[in-house]
Amino acid sequence: MEALKILIIEDDVFLGTELEEQLLEFGYTITERVRDSKSAIIAFRRRLPDIVLCDINLEDSELDGIDLVKVFNTIAKVPIIFLTAFGDAKTVARAKEVNPAYYLIKPCNPNQLQISLDFAIANFMNKEEAELEHSLKLQEATTPSLHVGADYFFLKDGHKYVRVKVEDILWVEALGANVKIITEPSVFTLSANLSSFSKQVPHDFLVRVHRSYMINIHRIESFYGNRIYIQKNGKQQEIPIGKTYREGFQKLFIKLASD
């Protein structure tokens, strides 16, 4: 589990400091806080953020925020939240050219900032899902709390999003209408059943072995009969293999021939 990493690009020192303090209070990580386009490009390359808060009007800068994001998009695609005091039609039209995840008018309060982050992650990940042709609909007609990328997903944890790497999952356990996602350091609960989760996070190494369990086969320590053993926090955890899943599970492993 990793806290969301955010790059702040704001030429107003007071506002930049205030944004940083608010984001740290929310539980996010700040990669850097910079004031001009040249420093921003260096910071973006040095430590790729999960999201960028970018002022549009950057004084004493070679590029304004919109042209700066065009450069970012040639390096890596990350969600962008534009921060600006300008809400005129011309500025908005230019901003739309680079497909920002959100457009925030300054000054903004902490609640508006948090909402912008929620929408930015949701909008960006929904776009990524479409491009990857993932069908990522939760069964509940509520705001999704899971946003999936190729090898990770963002999960709402309290008031913030955290990045969970799929490879870090030990197993997933069904709890009625919810699933419990177990990683080495943490346990998360998601409002989705096990079938829904498996469709949203499709990876070959995440395998259903029981009507109530899905495991990461890379994390198996041993298996015997209808039991699988996985290490968590130095202790062996026992996972059952369901009768209908046993044959499929055994086919995952090549049996070495004896001489």
> Under CATH, what is the fold of the domain 2-131?
Rossmann fold (3.40.50)
Q: What pLDDT does residue 141 have? A: 36
pLDDT of residue 165: 85
pLDDT tens across 12-66, in order? 999 999 999 999 988 899 999 999 999 999 999 999 998 999 999 998 899 999 9
Residue 128, pLDDT score: 54
What average pLDDT does the structure give for the chain?
82
Average pLDDT, stretch 223-250?
A: 88
CATH of segment(s) 146-250: 2.40.50.1020
Strand partners, 231: 236
Over the stretch 157-205, which tens digit does the pLDDT of each residue have? 666 778 888 888 999 998 877 888 999 888 888 877 888 888 878 788 8
What is the structure's pLDDT at 127?
57
Domain boundaries, the chain: 2-131, 146-250
Mean pLDDT, range 236-254, rounded to an integer:
85
